[in-house]
Amino acid sequence: AQSVAQPEDQVNVAEGNPLTVKCTYSVSGNPYLFWYVQYPNRGLQFLLKYITGDNLVKGSYGFEAEFNKSQTSFHLKKPSALVSDSALYFCAVRDPRGTGGFKTIFGAGTRLFVKA
Protein backbone atom coordinates (compact mmCIF):
# COMPACT_ATOMS: atom_id res chain seq x y z
CA ALA A 1 0.00 0.00 0.00
CA GLN A 2 1.12 3.51 -0.76
CA SER A 3 2.01 5.73 2.15
CA VAL A 4 3.58 9.07 2.95
CA ALA A 5 5.37 10.09 6.11
CA GLN A 6 6.20 13.59 7.29
CA PRO A 7 8.37 12.97 10.33
CA GLU A 8 8.20 16.50 11.76
CA ASP A 9 5.05 18.02 13.17
CA GLN A 10 6.63 21.46 13.12
CA VAL A 11 9.68 23.10 11.60
CA ASN A 12 10.99 26.38 12.96
CA VAL A 13 13.34 28.54 10.94
CA ALA A 14 14.52 32.13 11.04
CA GLU A 15 13.63 34.43 8.18
CA GLY A 16 16.35 34.44 5.55
CA ASN A 17 17.61 30.99 6.47
CA PRO A 18 17.15 27.93 4.26
CA LEU A 19 14.27 25.64 5.11
CA THR A 20 13.65 21.94 4.60
CA VAL A 21 10.40 20.08 5.19
CA LYS A 22 10.88 16.33 5.06
CA CYS A 23 8.81 13.69 3.32
CA THR A 24 9.37 9.99 2.73
CA TYR A 25 7.15 7.73 0.72
CA SER A 26 6.38 4.12 0.05
CA VAL A 27 4.98 3.11 -3.34
CA SER A 28 4.77 -0.09 -5.31
CA GLY A 29 5.48 1.47 -8.69
CA ASN A 30 6.59 4.80 -10.09
CA PRO A 31 6.07 7.56 -7.56
CA TYR A 32 4.01 10.59 -8.46
CA LEU A 33 4.74 13.01 -5.63
CA PHE A 34 3.26 16.36 -4.73
CA TRP A 35 3.61 19.19 -2.26
CA TYR A 36 0.67 21.35 -1.22
CA VAL A 37 0.49 24.30 1.15
CA GLN A 38 -2.42 25.29 3.35
CA TYR A 39 -2.69 28.77 4.83
CA PRO A 40 -5.02 29.33 7.80
CA ASN A 41 -8.69 28.95 6.95
CA ARG A 42 -7.91 28.22 3.31
CA GLY A 43 -7.95 25.24 0.99
CA LEU A 44 -4.80 23.47 -0.11
CA GLN A 45 -2.74 25.02 -2.88
CA PHE A 46 -0.50 23.06 -5.20
CA LEU A 47 3.21 23.90 -4.96
CA LEU A 48 5.06 21.39 -7.12
CA LYS A 49 5.19 17.80 -8.27
CA TYR A 50 7.59 15.09 -9.37
CA ILE A 51 6.60 12.91 -12.30
CA THR A 52 9.84 11.80 -13.91
CA GLY A 53 13.16 13.19 -15.08
CA ASP A 54 15.20 15.77 -13.21
CA ASN A 55 15.38 14.99 -9.51
CA LEU A 56 15.21 18.68 -8.57
CA VAL A 57 11.77 20.07 -9.14
CA LYS A 58 11.03 23.77 -8.98
CA GLY A 59 7.66 25.12 -7.98
CA SER A 60 5.71 28.15 -6.85
CA TYR A 61 6.92 30.89 -4.48
CA GLY A 62 10.60 29.87 -4.79
CA PHE A 63 10.07 26.37 -3.42
CA GLU A 64 11.82 23.33 -4.80
CA ALA A 65 11.92 19.67 -3.91
CA GLU A 66 14.49 16.98 -4.37
CA PHE A 67 13.45 13.49 -5.34
CA ASN A 68 15.77 10.80 -4.00
CA LYS A 69 14.82 7.34 -5.14
CA SER A 70 17.37 5.46 -3.03
CA GLN A 71 16.17 7.18 0.14
CA THR A 72 12.53 7.25 -1.01
CA SER A 73 12.38 10.90 -0.05
CA PHE A 74 10.91 14.06 -1.53
CA HIS A 75 12.00 16.89 0.74
CA LEU A 76 10.69 20.40 0.20
CA LYS A 77 13.26 23.18 0.27
CA LYS A 78 13.62 26.90 -0.06
CA PRO A 79 16.94 28.77 0.00
CA SER A 80 15.67 31.75 2.00
CA ALA A 81 12.55 31.54 4.15
CA LEU A 82 10.01 34.34 4.44
CA VAL A 83 7.64 34.99 7.34
CA SER A 84 4.83 34.65 4.81
CA ASP A 85 5.91 31.03 4.18
CA SER A 86 4.52 30.11 7.60
CA ALA A 87 1.78 27.58 6.85
CA LEU A 88 0.90 23.90 6.90
CA TYR A 89 2.65 21.81 4.26
CA PHE A 90 1.41 18.48 2.94
CA CYS A 91 3.35 15.90 0.98
CA ALA A 92 1.21 13.58 -1.14
CA VAL A 93 1.50 10.56 -3.40
CA ARG A 94 -0.93 9.35 -6.00
CA ASP A 95 -2.04 5.76 -5.85
CA PRO A 96 -3.03 4.17 -9.16
CA ARG A 97 -6.14 2.08 -8.61
CA GLY A 98 -6.86 -0.97 -10.68
CA THR A 99 -10.56 -0.20 -10.68
CA GLY A 100 -10.01 3.29 -12.01
CA GLY A 101 -9.51 6.59 -10.31
CA PHE A 102 -6.39 7.82 -8.61
CA LYS A 103 -6.46 8.21 -4.88
CA THR A 104 -4.21 10.87 -3.40
CA ILE A 105 -2.68 9.92 -0.08
CA PHE A 106 -1.62 12.86 2.03
CA GLY A 107 0.95 12.98 4.79
CA ALA A 108 -0.06 14.26 8.20
CA GLY A 109 1.26 17.72 7.44
CA THR A 110 4.16 19.76 8.78
CA ARG A 111 3.62 23.18 10.24
CA LEU A 112 6.31 25.62 9.17
CA PHE A 113 6.93 28.58 11.40
CA VAL A 114 9.25 31.28 10.11
CA LYS A 115 10.38 33.76 12.72
CA ALA A 116 11.22 37.34 11.79
Partner 1 sequence: DTAVSQTPKYLVTQMGNDKSIKCEQNLGHDTMYWYKQDSKKFLKIMFSYNNKELIINETVPNRFSPKSPDKAHLNLHINSLELGDSAVYFCASSQEVIYNEQFFGPGTRLTVL
C-alpha 39 chain-centroid distance? 14
- In the complex with partner 1, the residue whose CB is nearer, 43 or 54, is 43
- In the complex with partner 1, the residue whose CB is nearer, 13 or 27, is 27
Q: How far is CA 58 from CA 29, 41, 50, 104, in A?
A: 23, 26, 9, 21
Q: What is the closest distance, in whole angstroms, from the C-beta atom of residue 36 to partner 1 in the complex?
A: 8
Q: Is 90 in the site for partner 1 (CB under 8 A)?
A: yes
Q: What is the closest distance, in whole angstroms, from the C-beta atom of residue 109 to partner 1 in the complex?
A: 5
Bridge partners (DSSP) of residue 11 are 112
Phi, psi of 85 (to 5 degrees): -80, -10
Choose which of 54, 70, 98, 101 interacts with partner 1 (CB under 8 A). 101
- Radius of gyration, CA atoms only, the chain: 14
Nearest by Cα to 112 from 7, 13, 4, 23? 13
Residues 20-79 that bind partner 1 (CB under 8 A): 32, 34, 36, 38, 41-46, 49, 51
| Chain residues in the site for partner 1 (CB under 8 A) | 32, 34, 36, 38, 41-46, 49, 51, 88, 90, 94, 96-97, 99-104, 106, 108-109
